[in-house]
Homo-oligomer: A and B are copies of this chain.
Amino acid sequence: MYISKSFIPILKNNPSEAKIKSHQLMLRAGMIKQSSAGVYSWLPLGFKVMKKIEKIVRDEQNKIGVQEILMPTIQSSEIWKESGRYEDYGEEMLRIKDRQNREMLYGPTNEELVTDIFRSSIKSYKSLPQLLYHIQWKFRDEIRPRFGIMRCREFYMKDAYSFDISDEEAFFSYNKFFLSYLKTFKRLDLTAIPMAADTGPIGGNLSHEFIILAETGESKIFTDKRIFNLNTDDTKLEKNSLASMRNKYEQYYSVTDEKFDRKEFEEKVSVENRLITKGIEVGHIFYFGDKYSKSMNASVDLPGGKKDFVKMGSYGIGVSRLVGAIIEAKYDEKTEVMKWPISIAPYDIAIIPMINKNDITALEKSNKIFKELEKNDIEAIIDDTEENYSSKIKKMNLIGVPYQIIIGKKTDNDLLEFKEVGRESQKLKLIDIIKLISEQKVRN
């Protein structure tokens, strides 16, 4: 792909409306374009990154056995009246009347709709557990949309729902998602910490937020530093292994300010381990038992012949929000250098030839390298413009492609100037560059 033919409208300066660095970068690098307040179009660069994130999220859901469905964006008000949330939800819910004057709404979340699907299909405990997820656009009519896609109105989210026969089985499901979330964020090269959290309008009494550290985060967090040393390497997808994994994380104090208790914090965490900082919520899981199944009458036949309401949980990851969150974690706005993790980079490598009107040797060389990379499943972008070197490098640093090949007049055929963004450049053969990138891609 030539950059001159691609739809990547780069901006020279930071737009004044962008107050945080993810918003700045996404506008500067032409990843998104605002279409109305808090509503954005995703241009090719932003779209590619979001799709790669979605793929990882999906993959990790499938690994724990969640089945994918797709619920519509527009819902009827009736099921929300059944659950009692139609009035509660307030003005954040986008309410709509159709041409027949029926009350509809743009789904802000899907507990009601998925409960309706469940109750009309599943009648027996024998079909439990059921784990269902979908990845769909949602709408919350924020009074003051801001920070680009971090606090917008139309956003892309993975939400999953579990249905179990008992609390014990439901905790097993809950813990599967707990593990799955840690693995998902790790693959995105993020350190996300699970924190005890309030349940808010979703309800229930067990909930964790997954938070990544970022100075621009909206959540204040209080945590024991030792939680950063934990990992899930030995955890198996079995009841006991998952329970002890969750225990391992819960032994360390780790909460957002809603749950903060200074006395408890100071008692449980020694001074040298205390960390008070800010973070961004990237996932949130809830267990709420029969809150929806009872009000909406979703029950199953039990072994003895009795019936009982199913126990439910819900599990969200903000897919579009993650694009911004990763930028907040990885973008150095002082040097204007972004580096995407290879697993979600819009391109694997940038080829930057020195071009002027009378000499296209470097461009021809670039084309050859491009083809060789393509054969090896490495996606490259060529900057075929006639801009000078430093402006080309600046542009690619902004776009955040993690590797660069720089081709000047003196580049001989064998050794290429290769640079991993943020490191010194080195001379490498193309075959070694291919090997290096392929290895990185497999690892992620």
Contact B76 A47 (CB under 8 A): no
> Complex Cα distance A142/B167, Å?
44
> Complex Cα distance A224/B419, Å?
60
Contact B99 A96 (CB under 8 A): no
CB distance from A57 to the nearest CB of B (A): 15
CB distance from A55 to the nearest CB of B (A): 12
**CB of A67 within 8 A of chain B?**
yes
Instruction: Give A56-76 interface residues, CB cut-off 8 Å to B.
Output: 67-76
The 8 Å CB contact of A154, one of B37, B73, B120, is: B73
**CB of A356 within 8 A of chain B?**
no
Binds B, one of A4-12, A248-256, A302-310, A428-436: A4-12
**CB of A132 within 8 A of chain B?**
yes
A67 in contact with B44 given A35-B76, A121-B30 (CB within 8 Å): yes
Contact B127 A4 (CB under 8 A): yes
> Complex Cα distance A96/B137, Å?
17
Q: Mark A66-106, 1 if CB is under 8 A from B, else 0.
A: 01111111111010000000000001001010111010101
**CB of A36 within 8 A of chain B?**
yes
Instruction: Give A1-52 interface residues, CB cut-off 8 Å to B.
Output: 4-7, 9, 30, 33, 35-37, 39-44, 47-48, 50
Which of A42, A74, A76 has the most C-beta atoms of chain B within 10 angstroms of its own C-beta?
A: A74
> Complex Cα distance A102/B38, Å?
13
B-side contacts of A130, CB under 8 Å: 7
B-side contacts of A276, CB under 8 Å: none
**CB of A275 within 8 A of chain B?**
no
Q: List 11 A-B contacts (CB under 8 A).
A: A5-B127, A35-B71, A36-B75, A36-B102, A36-B104, A39-B74, A41-B70, A43-B69, A73-B137, A73-B154, A98-B153
Lowest 10 CB-CB distances: which A-B pairs, in order? A9-B121, A36-B76, A42-B70, A91-B99, A41-B71, A44-B67, A39-B72, A72-B154, A99-B141, A96-B96
6 further contact pairs, Cβ within 8 A, besides A48-B68, A73-B154: A9-B120, A35-B113, A36-B74, A36-B76, A74-B139, A74-B153
